[in-house]
Amino acid sequence: MIINPILPGFNPDPSILRVNTDYYIATSTFEWFPAIAIYHSTNLKDWELITHVIQDDTILNLKRLPSAKGVWAPCLTYNHKQKLFYVTFSLMYSHNARNFDVDNFVLTAPSIYGPWSGLIYLHSVGFDPSFFHDDDGRQYVVCLEWELRNGPGRPGAIVLQEYDGSTQQMIGPLKRISNGFTRRGCIEGPHIYKYKGLYYLLLAEGGTGYGHCVTLGRSVSIWGPYEGDPENPILSASEDFDELDNDYYLKPHQYNPKAFLQKTGHGSIVETPDGKVYLAHLCARPFTPELRCTLGRETALQRMYWTNDGWLRKKGGKLPDLFVEEPEEDADHILYQETGKQSAKRIKREREDFESSCDIQFVSPRCSWKRFASLTERPGYLRIFGRQSLCSLDEVALVARRLISIQADVRCAMEFIPTDFRHSAGIVIYYDNMNHFFLRLTRLIPEAPPQLMLTQIENGQRKETEGPFIEEGKVLYLRLTVHDRELRFFWTQARSAEDNVEKSVWHNLGSIFDVSVLSDEYCTTGEFTGTFVGIACVDTLNRHAYADFDWFEYREGYSLS
């Protein structure tokens, strides 16, 4: 049984691909680096993060980009004639005053692990570009053309243009091929497929919020016209509606309590070797009643099938399923007896000891962590050199991983001697530069010992909770726990990192906080991303201060022991 979401936590805009017996999914990374996450599976059930497409931050400058800009909607395809992987994506700079300033690029590689080519510029007409490699060797790029003019065409149409691989340039006319197949508006995320000689155009409509859906159309020619599926949308968590000119993408009034997975849309299709069809799509799991999605937009998978008259349907109806049969399961249905709630009884531990490498799950905002951190300065530790505050849009010394459950226990062991109030290091839970919590060690008074502080930045407003003075020369253990919507912070000390922290007494710092404030719906400065947990060091004096982290541990599940 496949349990959704298959990629929990911040993993939106999935593009799924099969090459032989290997399945891959590419997801958006926005301002986080390295860019374009690639997951791998051999059974569609078990997925592993295996690489990132762009790992050199000198070829992709994300610095000073606002939250939720950067790398949007990668599309992963494979050209069998060329034996090359293709990844297209949008580099979004801003959408101030509805001006979507964006460039679209493609990269190619002979292996999913690279080496990837440099960025090949396509155009800047809109966002969500997707490649289609036709049987005759011709190649096409389909994307959303952004429309600034007022009228029924907003926010834009789906456009198609041919690509010349020999010159690496777009050629021929840019043609509008679809205005969508429903009256939900906000069309985006196009992909073209071919089935039994017909071209199929898969779209996302309704905005990437609670009105999101997947729609389908088909044509005898790749240039259209495309006939819409008479039962569109083919997947949606919401009931049908008509809001063609509604620019508010979240649409909370379209929330459907019957669906456990919300915001379902932005889909892509994959076929197994024996002809079974699955649809990967983004989704979200909100806290209610506020409808706040702290984990961000995640990736789920649905079992589909082709009808006799050539349309795509989801088994069991249009609502997204939490439990989906695996490819080898022959049952016509699965008994859905689970509640879908995440269990706190099972504790799964993932520990990074920083012995010789840093886990692939660790990323940083806007630049590579290798710019400010080292595994060799003190072997067996990750030494993080202080950089700008966590509110910066430039270079922030934060190493973090996705929060993938609302039952989580996160811990680290740190050695740090601050000498100034501008020095801080500690543990972080982070949505964006204007929304995060930082349990940090600093020195407020030069003559006094170091002191713990808990800093909360909520929509740009700063709140401080003073903690105790900390004895120098001891290892400091920091911890945060997420239990449903309750967020807590703890600390303890030991003589050395080898001491048994499990037997230590944890001291609480601060009150119980509401983790739901870290969400698209609550944050006013960001959107589209999700919550991360990690470790950080700040030095706004002279960039000389550093913190040594012996280990970082993420426990999926919750325990007060």
Domains and CATH numbers, the chain: 2-324 (2.115.10.20), 348-556 (2.60.120.200)
- Collapsing DSSP to helix, strand or coil, 371 comes out as helix
Q: Distance between CA 8 and CA 425 in Å, rounded?
A: 28
Q: Distance between CA 14 and CA 301 in Å, rounded?
A: 10
Is 395 a known active-site residue? yes
* 421 CB neighbour count, 10 Å cutoff: 15
Q: Distance between CA 527 and CA 428 in Å, rounded?
A: 19
- Beta-carbon contacts of 297 under 8 Å, excluding residues fewer than 6 positions away, are 10, 11, 12, 13, 208, 263, 282, 283, 284, 520, 528, 530
The pair of structure tokens assigned to 320 is 């997204």
Cβ–Cβ < 8 Å for 549, 381: yes
Give bridge partners of residue 15 from the DSSP assignment: 26
Q: What is the identity of the amino acid at 484? A: D
Q: One digit per residue, pLDDT tens: the chain, 561 residues?
A: 999 999 999 999 999 999 999 999 999 999 999 999 999 999 999 999 999 999 999 999 999 999 999 999 999 999 999 999 999 999 999 988 888 899 999 999 999 999 999 999 999 999 999 999 999 999 999 999 998 887 766 678 999 999 999 999 999 999 999 999 999 989 999 999 999 999 999 999 999 999 999 999 999 999 999 999 999 999 999 998 888 766 678 999 999 999 999 999 999 999 999 999 999 999 999 999 999 999 999 999 999 999 999 999 998 999 999 999 999 864 444 333 333 333 334 567 899 999 988 999 999 999 999 999 999 999 999 999 999 999 999 999 999 999 999 999 999 999 999 999 999 999 999 999 999 999 999 999 999 999 999 999 999 999 999 999 999 989 999 999 999 999 999 999 986 656 677 777 999 999 999 999 999 999 998 889 999 999 999 999 999 999 999 999 999 975 544
How high is the pLDDT of residue 331? 44
Give bridge partners of residue 548 from the DSSP assignment: 383, 415
Cβ–Cβ < 8 Å for 91, 71: yes
Cβ–Cβ < 8 Å for 275, 303: no
- Beta-carbon contacts of 92 under 8 Å, excluding residues fewer than 6 positions away, are 65, 69, 70, 71, 72, 100, 101, 102, 127
- Beta-carbon contacts of 432 under 8 Å, excluding residues fewer than 6 positions away, are 67, 68, 523, 525, 526, 529
Q: Distance between CA 260 and CA 322 in Å, rounded?
A: 7
How high is the pLDDT of residue 419? 96
* 502 CB neighbour count, 10 Å cutoff: 6
How high is the pLDDT of residue 251? 92
Angstrom CA distances, 519 to 473, 475, 555, stand at: 38, 33, 21
Which DSSP state fits 356?
Answer: S
The kind and range of the H/E element at 525 are none
Picking from 271, 280, 331, 285, the residue whose alpha carbon sits closest to that of residue 302 is: 280
Helical residues (DSSP H) of 362-519, grouped into ranges: none
Of the candidates 326, 395, 486, 553, the residue annotated as catalytic is 395
Angstrom CA distances, 149 to 97, 102, 132, 152, stand at: 12, 17, 29, 9
* 6 CB neighbour count, 10 Å cutoff: 22
Number of H-type helices and E-type strands within the chain: 0, 40
Q: In angstroms, how far is the first alpha carbon of the chain from the final one?
A: 32
Q: Distance between CA 72 and CA 133 in Å, rounded?
A: 21
- Beta-carbon contacts of 150 under 8 Å, excluding residues fewer than 6 positions away, are none
Q: Distance between CA 506 and CA 341 in Å, rounded?
A: 28
Q: What is the identity of the amino acid at 347? A: I
Picking from 203, 210, 246, 208, the residue whose alpha carbon sits closest to that of residue 228 is: 203
* 361 CB neighbour count, 10 Å cutoff: 15
Q: Distance between CA 259 and CA 266 in Å, rounded?
A: 17
The pair of structure tokens assigned to 248 is 């508010």
The pair of structure tokens assigned to 421 is 């109030």
Give the side-chain half-sphere CA count within 13 A for 441: 32
Q: Hunting for tokens 């958006």 — which residue is that?
A: 28
How high is the pLDDT of residue 497? 59
Secondary structure, 3-state, 123-138: ECCEEEEEEEECCCCC
How high is the pLDDT of residue 242? 86
The pair of structure tokens assigned to 219 is 């044509």
Angstrom CA distances, 333 to 303, 315, 327, stand at: 11, 8, 13
